[in-house]
Structures are given as C-alpha cells and as structure tokens.
Amino acid sequence: ICRGLSSSAVRHVVIKNVTIIGGGQMGAGIAQVAASTGHAVTLVDTNEDILKKAVKGIEGNLKRVVKKKFADKPEAGEEFLQKAMQNVSISTDAGSVVQGTDLVVEAIVENLKVKQDLFGGLDKVAPAHTIFASNTSSLSITDIASSTNRLDRFGGLHFFNPVPVMRLVEVIATSSTSQETFDSLLNFSKMLGKTSVSCKDTPGFIVNRLLLPYILDAVRMYERGDGSKEDIDIAMKLGCGYPMGPFELSDYVGLDTMKFIMDGWSAANPDNPMFAQSEVLNKLVAEGKFGKKTGEGFYKYK
Ligand code: CAA
Ligand code: NAD
C-alpha cells in the first residue's frame, strides 16, 4: 500500500484496490463510480447471475455517460469505457478476494446479523491494513464492527441511490475509528468525486434520520385516507421541488430496505410513533412487492 499525507498532515491509506460486497443497486453503483475513477474493483455477490446483471448494468450506464460526456471525442470515450470496464472484476468468494484489497465496502442486505457474520469472517482473512466500511442505511456501525477485531479500521461510507448521480457520501466514525481510517475514507470519497459530510454513529446518520420519518409520515397520511399516493407525490414534487415524491422514492429505495429500517427503529423505539409499523408497507413487502427492482411496489413498473 501507499501512504500519503492528507491536507491536515494526518496519514491516510491511499485506496487503490476496493472490494465491494453486494452487487445490488447500491453495490453496482459504488462499483461503477470507483471503477470509472481509476480504482481496481472486485464486486462480490452470492451468485454469478446477479454479478453478470450488475456488470451489464454498469456497462449500460457508462455507455450513456460516455455518449454525453465524449460526444465530440468518441475515441476517447471508447478508451474511457474500456478502462473503466477493465477495472471491474467479479467473484462469489469474498474471502479469497480480500487478500489484496485496501478497502471493503459492504452493500448487502440491511440485516445486522448477516452483516456481522460477513465482516467477522472477512476479518480473519483480510490483510491488517485493510479498512472495512458499511453502506448501511440505518444500522449502528459500532454494532456491525463488533464482530471484528479491527474497530480502529472500521467506519461507515453511506452512499445515495442512484450512486453515480447523487453527489453526497456520509462518512461515519465510531468512537473507535482511528483518525487515519477516517481520513482515508474522506479521501476515498473525494477521489470518487463526491462531497462528504462527517457523521456520528447515530441512527440514520444525517440524511435518513430526517428522510425516513418524512416518508413514513407520508405513508401514514395515505393509510388514513388523507391523500392519495399520487396527490401526495405531486404535492411534494411541485410544492417543495423534490425530484421524487415519497411513494416514488420508497419504490426507488426498495420497500424491503424501507421495512428493514422501520423494523429496526420501531423495535428500538417502541413508544415513538414516528417509527411505528405501517400496515400498507408490511403488506406490500409480504407480497414480494419491493418497488422498482421487482416491478411493483406502491406503483407498477412493467
Ligand atoms: N445510474 C447512472 N445515471 C443515472 C441513473 C442511474 N441509475 N439514473 C439516472 N441517471 C442520470 C441520467 O443519465 C441523467 O443524466 P444527465 O443529467 O447527464 O442527462 C440524470 O441522471 C437524470 O436522469 P433522468 O433524466 O433519467 O431522470 P430524472 O431527471 O428524473 O432524475 C433521479 C432521476 C436522479 C433518480 C431523480 O429523480 C432524483 O434525484 N431522485 C431522488 C433520489 C434520491 O432522493 N435519492 C436518495 C434516496 S435515499 C438513499 O439513497 C439513502 C438510503 O440509505 C435509503
Ligand atoms: P439490493 O437488494 O439491491 O442488493 C443487495 C445485494 O446483496 C443482493 O444482490 C444480494 O444478493 C446481496 N447479498 C445479500 N447477502 C449477501 C452476502 N452475505 N454476501 C454477498 N452478497 C450478499 O439492496 P441495496 O438497495 O443495494 O442495499 C444494500 C445496502 O445498502 C443495504 O444495507 C441498504 O440499507 C443500503 N442502502 C440502500 C440504499 C437504497 O436506496 N436502496 C441507499 C443507501 C444505502
């Protein structure tokens, strides 16, 4: 690994090789951005089909970007595309690929036990310098990190959907995250072309702590019959200038992920009506209607 000095003269690990675990909407997006900014990326998921789909998606997105950005220079565009795609490898065996990695970014299912099991296993095989980061939406980074022996080299890197478009990354330090690790994560976010904000390890960090209560309140408004989902979406788009209304955004995020977040927070705060269970959301998830990714959620996409 290379080490460099950050502007605050604190040492940070220069991240070249990145392993991204989870090839769903977030993992594929993070892989796309990391590969197109010159990082060697290995994308890991449980089966080859998911990975092939992810790589196809990345290539399709990059082709769109190239068509626009390199409209006058198609050859340079083709070279950029080739280089970015060469930076992406795939694997179904996280344990073997982390041997040569500087950073692991985890973007698997929003479940504490599953994330702990993953990191606990990787901790035993990853090199000492490797930094671990979770893209969790709502879980405690401290709790996830507790399954490892590298609390100082563990933090949060919270991206937003769609990753290639959304400009923010929340960088989360626990009370055990070292300054070197935190600076490495800030520097990596900068290398990806993102703006970062520093967050404490509090539920939902900054964005989701404000966004989720708003979305859940919209769902409850709809459940009470105080507004149709279409009208609520139109109202928030045209009344507030939001790019998507709360129901469109829920479908975009994934109703399964929304339910994982709601379940975790309502269990931790059973008396807080802000995080109370939603019958409509529970029903849609029970029916396998997870939103855009399954073709139906609050709305139909087929
Ligand atoms: N990958 C790459 N590029 C994409 C993309 C994707 N998945 N989706 C859209 N784009 C690009 C388009 O190519 C287009 O590029 P140009 O401006 O260069 O032409 C640009 O984004 C705009 O796209 P569209 O014209 O197709 O559509 P749009 O104007 O309706 O924008 C949107 C789409 C960017 C998704 C917009 O609707 C939006 O910002 N929605 C809100 C998204 C949001 O709030 N995300 C945060 C969710 S919360 C979260 O992520 C945290 C969590 O833990 C749950
Ligand atoms: P997704 O369902 O699209 O993808 C998750 C992927 O992880 C799937 O492909 C699944 O096969 C894979 N996976 C599950 N367990 C695995 C394991 N043990 N090893 C390897 N791969 C495994 O979900 P997503 O929307 O990409 O969300 C992923 C994470 O990112 C979650 O923690 C979520 O809370 C967080 N997040 C989501 C959003 C969003 O808007 N969807 C935004 C920011 C953060």
- Domain termination site, one of 153, 168, 200: 200
Q: Does residue 193 share a domain with residue 243?
A: no
Structure confidence at residue 10 (pLDDT): 57
Structure confidence at residue 4 (pLDDT): 46
List ligand 1's pocket residues with C-beta within 6 A.
61, 64, 68, 137, 160-162, 164-166, 208, 211, 243-244, 249, 253
Give the count of domains, the chain.
2
Residue 8 has pLDDT above 70, yes or no: no
Domain that holds residue 230: 209-294
- Domain termination site, one of 200, 220, 247: 200
Mean pLDDT throughout 133-150? 98
Task: Indicate whether 57 belongs to any domain.
Answer: yes
Residue 1 has pLDDT above 80, yes or no: no
87 is catalytic: no
Q: Does residue 231 share a domain with residue 131?
A: no
Q: Does residue 141 share a domain with residue 33?
A: yes
Question: Mean pLDDT for the chain?
Answer: 95
Q: Does residue 185 share a domain with residue 51?
A: yes
pTM: 0.95
Task: Indicate whether 142 belongs to any domain.
Answer: yes
Residue 38 has pLDDT above 50, yes or no: yes
Report the CATH number at residue 69.
Answer: 3.40.50.720
- Domain termination site, one of 145, 172, 200: 200
Structure confidence at residue 42 (pLDDT): 98
Catalytic, out of 39, 134, 158, 296 = 158
Q: Does residue 191 share a domain with residue 219?
A: no
3-state secondary structure the chain: CEEEECCCCCEEEECCEEEEECCCHHHHHHHHHHHHCCCEEEEECCCHHHHHHHHHHHHHHHHHHHHHHCCCCHHHHHHHHHHHHHCEEEECCHHHHHHHCCEEEECCCCCHHHHHHHHHHHHHHCCCCCEEEECCCCCCHHHHHCCCCCHHHEEEEECCCCCCCCCEEEEEECCCCCHHHHHHHHHHHHHCCCEEEEEECCCCCCHHHHHHHHHHHHHHHHHCCCCCHHHHHHHHHHHHCCCCCHHHHHHHHCHHHHHHHHHHHHHHCCCCHHHCCCHHHHHHHHCCCCEHHHCECCCECC
Say how many Å lie between the CA of residue 231 and the centre of ligand 2.
Answer: 30
- In this predicted model, what pLDDT tens digit does every residue of 107-139 receive, in sequence order? 999 999 999 999 999 999 999 999 999 999 999
Residue 262 has pLDDT above 70, yes or no: yes
Mean pLDDT throughout 208-232? 97
Residue 12 has pLDDT above 90, yes or no: no
- In this predicted model, what pLDDT tens digit does every residue of 75-88 receive, in sequence order? 999 999 999 999 99
